[in-house]
Amino acid sequence: MTTAGENRSSLEVIDLHVEIASRRGIVRAVDGVFLDVPAGQAVGVVGESGSGKSMTLRAILGVLPPEAKITAGQVLLDGQDLAHLSNTQLNRVRGPKIAMIFQEPMSALNPVMRVGAQIAEGPQVHLGMNRAKAGERALELMRRVGIPDPERRYRAYPHEFSGGMRQRVMIAIALSCEPSVLLCDEPTTALDVTIQDQILRLLTRLCRESGTSLVFVTHDLPVVAQVCDELAVMYAGQIVEQGTVREVLTRPSHPYTLGLVRSAPDVDHPRSSLVAIPGSPPSLISPPTGCRFHPRCSIAEEDCVTTMPTLNPIGAGRATACLHYERCLEALDAQGADR
């Protein structure tokens, strides 16, 4: 097994654009996304449903639906641009270099293939292990992810496992070829809180032990705080704020991020009611001019309607796509003073 001290890979997404053909028109699902994932770090991506989080992950891995395509940008893994590889070339990268854990394991696992064989398949195909060696590796991984009695359950089928155990199988499959980068698309959403916490702790520990970089997509801010080092906030196909998890969640510099924080429960400062973000996300077929958040923003000014903001640095490791981010910070300070 690779140890955390070994040299690992870094992932960089540069000006990524993904379009989806629909009967109503072209959906700009991912519209100029920049994302940097340093080696060994965990980066969270948060946002409302439809913001482009999952589509960004699928574009990185090269598993877009047939109606979607990358129209511009780069996905650099150790300098190799995955966005322009053929499917055959990508198949050599998926598994040993980059892997993904999906939201619903029952739809991702093969229902008629034994669990142990599914875990052993990657090492056989990508690492050249024979059947016996791959089987031993699968049993070892089942133990590492906390599946009890692995020798017996090796021959079980996915339907014989609980939701939490199926997700452990998915983690074992994803880590079976020791990938440099692990993509997670809301892998704990369908689980109850106790099992979710167990899976998150397991995933964090395994990635730290192996030095694997992690990209974790979710809409759950407490989950991000538990798992990630850095955070990117996504709205209407674009990244609108980036920084460390602590800085972004305690001092958000974009009104959308502030809205997400205010609408989430806070055990340290309980409120009688949560504050919802007004309005609805825009259409990605015909998004608003200027800042895409301005129709829902309480601090928007005239230039927000006409000027498209770019993600600009506002301090060490911080960036925001708000023309008037100082007012956002002032609103946050006023909220704190009212407590």
**292-324 pLDDT per residue, tens:** 999 999 899 999 999 999 999 998 889 999 999
Residue 275 lies in a domain: yes
In a domain, 315, yes or no: yes
Alpha helices in the chain (DSSP H): 53-61, 87-93, 105-108, 115-126, 131-144, 150-153, 163-175, 193-210, 221-227, 245-250, 255-263, 302-306, 325-337
CA distance 77 to 75: 7
- Domain assignment present for residue 199? The answer is no
Residue 210 located in a structural domain? no
Residue 241 has pLDDT above 80, yes or no: yes
- Is 8 domain-assigned? no
Q: How far apart (Å, rounded) are the C-alpha atoms in residues 114 and 112?
A: 7
* Domain-located, residue 297: yes
Q: What is the sign of the dihedral through the CA atoms of 151, 157, 158 and 163? A: negative
Question: Using one digit for the tens of pLDDT, what is the confidence trace for 25-38?
Answer: 999 999 999 999 98
pLDDT confidence band for 262 (50 / 70 / 90): confident
Residue 288: DSSP 8-state? P
Quickly state the pLDDT bin for 3 (edges 50, 70, 90): very low
Q: In this structure, is residue 233 part of a structural domain?
A: no
Residue 305, C-beta contacts closer than 8 angstroms, at least 6 positions apart: 288, 289, 290, 291, 294
Q: Is residue 292 part of a domain?
A: yes
User: Residue 77 in contact with residue 93, Cβ under 8 Å?
Assistant: yes
For residues 123 and 118, give the distance between their C-alpha atoms in angstroms, rounded to a whole number: 10
Query: What does DSSP assign to residue 82?
Result: G
Q: What residues make up the domain containing 300?
A: 252-339
Q: How many domains does the chain have?
A: 1
